[in-house]
Amino acid sequence: MITENSSHYDHLEQMSVHELLTNINNEDKTVPLAVEKAIPQMEALVTEIVKRMKEGGRLFYIGAGTSGRLGVVDASECPPTYGVSPDLVVGIIAGGDRAIRSAVENAEDDSEQAWKDLQVYHIDPLDTLIGIAASGRTPYVIGGLQKAREAGILTGCIVCNPGSAVAQAAEFPVEVVVGPEFVTGSTRMKSGTAQKLVLNMISTSVMIQLGRVKGNKMVDMQLTNHKLKIRATNMVMSETGVSQQRAEELLAKFGNVRSAILNVNYNPEE
Which among 43, 48, 77, 171 is annotated as catalytic? 77
Q: Which of 108, 110, 122, 115 is nearest to 144 (CA)?
A: 115
Eight-state DSSP code of residue 264 = T
Q: How far apart are CA 162 and CA 221, in angstroms?
A: 37
Collapse the DSSP code of 93 into the 3-class scheme (helix H, G, I; strand E, B; otherwise coil) and give the result.
Answer: strand
| 50 Cα distance to chain centroid | 15
Q: Which of 150, 149, 146, 161 is nearest to 111 (CA)?
A: 146
Which among 108, 181, 239, 248 is annotated as catalytic? 108
Q: Are the C-beta atoms of residues 74 and 59 closer than 8 Å to each other?
A: no
The DSSP secondary structure of 210-264, one letter per residue, reads TT--BTTB-TT----SHHHHHHHHHHHHHHH---HHHHHHHHHHHSSHHHHHHTT
112 counts as catalytic: no
Q: Which of 45, 44, 3, 9 is nearest to 24 (CA)?
A: 9
48 counts as catalytic: no
For residue 114, which amino acid is it? A
Collapse the DSSP code of 153 into the 3-class scheme (helix H, G, I; strand E, B; otherwise coil) and give the result.
Answer: coil
- Please say whether the dihedral angle defined by the alpha carbons of residues 74, 186, 174 and 58, taken in this order, is positive or negative: negative
| Radius of gyration for the alpha carbons in the chain, expressed in angstroms and rounded | 21
Largest CA distance in the chain: 75
Burial status of residue 132 (CB atoms within 10 A of its CB: 0-12, 13-18, 19 or more): buried
Catalytic residues: 77, 108
